[in-house]
Structure 1
Amino acid sequence: MNQQRLPKEIEIYLDGEGISSADQSRLGLEKIRIDRFEGKLMGYVLTILVTALSLLVVDIVLPGVNIESFAVAMIAGIVIGLINTFVKPILSLLTLPINLVTLGLFSIVINGICFTLAAALVPGFQAHGLISFLVAPVILSLASTFLNKYFAERNADLKPNV
């Protein structure tokens, strides 16, 4: 089998011969930064995938939740992630007194609001009824926890960003 070789100058550069230690350090730091970025990016992709799979589990378990396809589940996973990042903290802060009085049980309602908001924003993703409002986020959370643990055990390099 004929292997292609890199030009000698590039091989020397990649091996570190003839490069100052400062340049070698800089190149090493750049490689670490790229590796970290790729790791975080893969973590986000894995988180979206886990959320999409969890949504499909919710679709199977609850009759009031309908997801048309895996692509819709992926889009819904992204939307749920964005809602949980930007909207949920504001809702949690605004409802903090109610949440304190109910000893945290009102957070189930907040999760239901976020889930229903995602269903309203994503075409092909519907959630109908009070049971879907209250139970779907709980099942979504349980399925996500299980799948995150499963993927973390199978791939030590990839860790979901939750």
Structure 2
Amino acid sequence: MKHFLLTWLGTAVALLITANVVPGFFVKNFIAALVAVVVIGLVNAFIRPILSILAFPVTLLTFGLFTFVINALTLWLASVLTPGYGFEIQGFLPAFVGSIVLTIVSSLISYFLRAIL
């Protein structure tokens, strides 16, 4: 349970940092980030596997680089599913850049949390 809460909080902080770095990527406040992380998790659990299976041939042809596009689509879909909650991504490019930045920042936060605890 402790690991889950730390991951949830760490990803919410990473989402806030990403919103401050990427133009067109907005998170209103920490509560909006917490809600967005839950929705992102649900999209990753239920919709991303379907997208990954459908995109498998393209992913093979691009040597896995198409995974970045799938990440961007899932992130954008999560923002579409949370209207009025303070999480908004304005287009594909902010979703694409935001998914890369979010991956890097959340990985760094996760690394530091594991080192501390």
TM-score interval (norm. to shorter): over 0.9
Matches of 1:112 and 1:98, distance apart in 2? 15
Larger relative CO (CA 8 A, sep 6+): 1 or 2? 2
The alignment partner of 1:103 has SS state of coil
1:91 aligns with 2:51: yes
TM-score scaled to structure 2, two decimals?
Answer: 0.93
CA contact (8 A) 2:25 2:95 kept: no
> Deviation at 1:150?
0.7
Q: Offset at 1:45?
A: 1.1
Q: Does 1:153 align with 2:104?
A: no
In 1, the alpha carbon distance for the partners of 2:10 and 2:41 equals 11
Query: Deviation at 1:153?
Result: 0.8
Match of 2:12 in 1: 52
TM-score by length of 1: 0.68
What is the root-mean-square deviation in Å for CA atoms of aligned residues? 1.0
Higher mean displacement: 134-143 or 121-130: 121-130
Structure 1, unpaired ranges of 5+:
1-40, 156-162
Identity of matched residues, %: 37
From 65, 78, 90, the equivalent of 1:128 is 90
**Is 1:103 aligned with 2:63?**
yes
Query: Post-superposition shift, 1:129?
Result: 3.0
CA distance in 1, matches of 2:92, 2:74: 14
Aligned to 1:139: 101
Q: Extract structure 1 runs of 4+ deviating beyond 2 A.
A: none
Task: State which structure, 1 or 2, has the greater radius of gyration over its C-alpha atoms.
Answer: 1
CA–CA distance in structure 2, aligned partners of residues 61 and 148 of structure 1: 19
